[in-house]
Structures are given as C-alpha cells and as structure tokens.
Amino acid sequence: MNALSDEQLLAEHLNGQPEAFELLVRRHGPELFRFLARFTGSGTLAEDVVQEAFLQVHLSAGSFDRGRRFKPWLFTIAANKARDAMRSRGRRPEVPLDAHMGSEEDAGRRFLDLLAEEAADPSGRLEEAEERACVRSVVQAMPDNLREVLVLSYFHRFPYRDIAEILGVPVGTVKSRLHAAVAHFGQAYRAAIRKKA
Amino acid sequence: MTQQQPLPDPAGPPATEEQLLDLHLGRLEGRRAAEVEEAVAGSPGLALRSRALRELLDLLDRDRAPDPPDDLAERVLEHIEARGAPIRFPGAASALPAGRARDLCAGPLLSLRELITIAACITLFVGVFVPGYYKAQSVARRNVCRDNLRQIWSAMGLYAADHNGHMAYAGYVPGGSWLPSPVRIPNVPRASNTRHVFRLVRGGYIVQPQVFICPAETDARPMRAQNLRSFSDFAEPVNNSYSYSFMNLPRPPRLADMQVGPQNGMVIVADRSPLISVAGPRPIRPFDEQGINSYAHDNGAGQNAVFASGRGGWFAHPTIGVDRDDIYRAGRLLRYQGTETPTAPTDTFLIP
C-alpha cells in the first residue's frame, strides 16, 4: 500500500480500508505540522489544527474531486482551519498588501536597495541565538497573507501553481505576495535590530 | 542608493527583482538561471543586491520549525475516532462559582411574598408571550425553508432548460450506496445522492450555499462560499438540509418525466428524510409505519415539499406522492441499508 499515490490511498479509504487513511496521516502529518507551526506560531495550536484538518478530510473524502491532487487540497483545508483558529483566538487582523510596511524614509524605495544598504552595515549584527529569536518574532508578526506565502514557498518549496491552488489566488498574485513578503521581512528585521541597538 | 537595473535578456523580457528572488529560491530553469547569474556577475550593483538577498534568506533558514510529536498520527486517529463516537454530556454543573453559590445560600435575599410575586409575574409572562413568540418563529422558519426549496426547484428548471430537459445528473454507480459521507458499507461503492444536485452549484445555478440550509435545523451550516467551485459534492452532510429524488439511475431523467399523474407529478425536493439522519438510517418504530414526517420542523409536525410542477408548500403528512405514495420510502420498505432504489418509475423516494 506504501506504493500507492495519495489519491489512490484516499480512494482505498473510501472503499473501507482504514490503513489507507492512517498512511495518509503518517505521510503528510509531519510536514503539515511544521507548516502550521510556522504559520500559527504555536506548536500546540498546530497540533490542534492538524487534527481538525484530517478530521475534515475524513468527513469530506466522499466529495473530493478526483481531478485534483490530494496534497494541495489537504493544505487548503489546513490553511482555512488555521485562519479560523487564529481568528477565534484573537490574532490581529491582516493588513492590506499595499499598506506601508517600513518607516517614512523607506517610502518609494525598492526593497533590494534597502537590503543592499543593510548588508553593507555590519553594525546591525546580532548574536546567533538572539538572531534566531528575532527572525521568528519578525516572521510571526507578518500579516497572515504574506506569512502563508513565505512559509509555503520558502520553507516548504511548494510550486507556485500549488500555492495558488491552496490559497485560491492567481499564480501572479502568489509571486507578488512572495516578493512583498521578503521585502516585508527585510524591513521588519532591520527595524527590529535597530530597536535592539 | 544603488539604481535598479533590469537584467539584459535578448531572448525575453528584462529580468526583474522577482526573477532574482526566483534564482535564489531555485525556481528558475537551467538556461534562464544561467542568464540571470551571468547578468548578476556582470553588474556590481546587481551583485550587491543578490548577495544581500542571499544573506536575508540565510536568516530565514535559522528559523527552525518545531518537530511534530512522535505520536502525531496516533493522536490524529484518536481525535477522529473520538469525534465519531456518541457525544456524552457530563452532568450539568452549577453556573455559579462555588463561593458565590455558597454566598447566595447563606440566607434569604428576598421575602416569601416577594418571591411569590416574582414567580407569578414570570408565569404570566411565559404563558402569554412565549407561545406566541415560538409560534411566530416556527412560521418564519417554515417560510424561509419553503423559499429555499423553491429556489432549488427553480435552479433545477433552469438547468434542465440548458440541458435538453435533463435534470442535474452526476453519473451512475451500479449498486452504489447513497448513505451520508461518514457512513460506509464495506466493499460497496459510494453514490452520494447530493452530488447530482451539487451540479447546480458547479454550474452557477445556485451561488448561495445558504439555500441548502433549512433554518429549522440548528446543526446545519452552509459550505464556505470559496469552496463551492472546487468540490464536487457537499463537504459535509451538515452542509445540506434537504432530501432529493433518488438519482442513481443509468440515464439522466428528464424533468418532464417527473410530471406524471393527474396532478402535480412527483415531489423532487423536500425537508430532510426522517429515515436517514446525517449519521445513517434511522429505524422505523411500529407506530411510524403509516407515515412519518421530517423531523426538521417542530419535531415532526410536517414538511415543506416541492413537486416537479413547481407547486408546493407545507404538508402535514408525507403521503403526497403519486397515488398517495410516502415520499420518504421506497415502496413500503421499513428498513434501509443505503442501497435501496425506488420500486417503480412513479415511486417517489427522497434521500439526502
């Protein structure tokens, strides 16, 4: 059964083979957990959402469109559940993509130019542990719609087409959001280390 | 500040910052990647930006995601199993914290006369206003439900007009089980009855998922609107409140074929069948054999139903099919397993 594709396993699950569903959970559970842990910023919440997402898959398996692939479908469900869970726990609302992301002096400047200036400035360096904590807090503080693209694209290496399917947006939007996400991360990280300095 | 320069590319459009990002994310194909790398190598400004971007992405690499628990799969499976089991309600606890409850019990706050006066007022209020309130609420729910069914009938008619008179139809599964999605019969293929009516959603004939929700069903909830076009059936049984004509037929029926008999023809959609809950078939009790109403409204007071002719409304009894046939039963069958079919072409058999 290990050789079966995800879609074949789901079909076996619908035919009453319980081990097929377990195999799907073992195959995708860990990666889904890591995605959700980065997206929600909480391992506990990530585990809850993993459970809810697979429960939804279990309940909705009969309505799965066989023309689609399983993994983007699973991540679509998980991302929706994660947004609901964060909303119910009172996370701050998203900011629009065209919202100003940096300080006044950064307005109108290209993000790679800002990064290039930062790279030439060694004074803003942090210790490694401090740096890791700073990166995490900056990623967690990003708007949801940017963070989810960054996590799916950079950390999980999903193809643009799959990310577009998961988020229900055009591929062009995925690319521009990823660009904006990296820019946002660069500016927010720089602001954070300036504050520490 | 360094000026942004487009990367030269004689074969295509100038490279952009997004392509520089794609280069570092390994998302460019060999030839295109080589061209962008060559352009970066030939421009000190681009090289500086490229290095800065690499350093930024290296920072992201330091954000390690926590590892999942070793028994994640077991926890997921236990969670699903637990949710599939009957819900047990623990004994009702006091709504007041223990200390506050003790304070209230410590001594009488109101005299006996005051208590009797308050109780009389409450009794009068409940006796006069509450029945009227519930009655009005019940009528309002029936009306909204009836409008939902008429919208579904109307969408069925529009679909038939666009498809040579055929009703929405999603194919034939010989011997398939029409039971709701969590319920399975081993080695029997699934043949959901609602996947046919869901064609109305996929085709844009019904765009509001709320149309499939009877307001009298407190557990029902509409599907997410953004999921409607990517599913081929309702995501969960609770996303649909209604029962539809049995449709797992070798050929798609025509709407006109359902308009048989001297009056309004067959019922094609009605409130949820009392014989099939979202958890599976319900046994019929001996005293229900003469006909049992949908439980959706007022614990079985009747049901809304719409005929193929478009006429419909509230009916206090389910024997409204052709020749006074019970619309929820296949013939006069009492027990259902999920593979039953109508016993005759004019036998109305509504299932979720």
The DSSP code for A101 is -
A6-88: CATH topology: Rna Polymerase Sigma Factor; Chain: A (1.10.1740)
Between A53-57, A130-134, A136-140, B71-75, the lowest mean confidence (pLDDT) is in A130-134
pLDDT at B105 (0 to 100): 42
Per the CB < 8 Å rule, is B59 touching A58? no
pLDDT at B8 (0 to 100): 40
Per the CB < 8 Å rule, is B231 touching A60? yes
To the nearest whole percent, how much of chain A has pLDDT over 90? 37
Name the amino acid, one letter, at A69.
R
Q: What is the pLDDT of residues A62-121, one digit of tens each?
A: 888 878 899 999 999 999 999 988 888 765 433 333 333 333 334 334 555 555 555 444
- Top-tier CATH class for A104-196: mainly alpha
Per the CB < 8 Å rule, is A168 touching B226? yes
Does residue A22 sit at the B interface (CB-CB below 8 Å)?
A: yes
Under-70 pLDDT residues of chain B? 1-16, 84-109, 182, 286-287, 289
Testing the interface with A: which of B23, B24, B56, B221 to mutate, by most A Cβ within 10 A?
A: B56
pLDDT mean across residues, chain A:
80
Contacts of B186 in chain A (CB under 8 A): 15-16
Tokens 């999903």 belong to A158
Does residue A113 sit at the B interface (CB-CB below 8 Å)?
A: yes
User: In CATH terms, are A6-88 and A104-196 the same topology?
Assistant: no
ipTM: 0.78
Token code pair at residue A57: 């898959």
| Chain A residue with minimum CA distance to B25 | A154
Phi/psi at B248 (5° precision): -80, 75
Contacts of A135 in chain B (CB under 8 A): 59-60, 62-63
pTM: 0.47
Residues 54-83 of A with CB under 8 A from B: 54-56, 58-65, 68, 76, 80
How many CB atoms sit inside 10 A of residue A75's CB? 26
Q: How far apart are CA B137 and CA B133, in angstroms?
A: 6
Q: Note whether B36 and B28 are within 8 A (CB).
A: yes
Mean pLDDT for the stretch of residues A148-153: 92
| Chain A residue with minimum CA distance to B2 | A113
pLDDT at B249 (0 to 100): 93
Domain boundaries, chain A: 6-88, 104-196
Cα A161 from chain centre = 15
Does residue A187 sit at the B interface (CB-CB below 8 Å)?
A: no
Please tell me the distance in Å from B30's CA to the nearest CA on chain A. Answer: 16
Per the CB < 8 Å rule, is A117 touching B1? yes
pLDDT at B287 (0 to 100): 67
Q: What is the pLDDT of residues A156-176, one digit of tens each?
A: 989 999 999 999 899 999 998
**DSSP code per residue over B325-345:** --TTSSTT-----S----SST
Q: Which of B283, B271, B300, B284 is nearest to B212 (CA)?
A: B271
Does residue A50 sit at the B interface (CB-CB below 8 Å)?
A: yes
Testing the interface with B: which of A56, A60, A80, A136 to mutate, by most B Cβ within 10 A?
A: A60
Please tell me the distance in Å from A179's CA to the nearest CA on chain B. Answer: 6
Coil/strand/helix, residue B350: strand
pLDDT at A70 (0 to 100): 93
Say yes or no to pLDDT of A42 above 70.
Answer: yes
Between A50-54, A59-63, A94-98, A125-129, the lowest mean confidence (pLDDT) is in A94-98
Contacts of B18 in chain A (CB under 8 A): 175-176, 178-179
pLDDT at A125 (0 to 100): 53
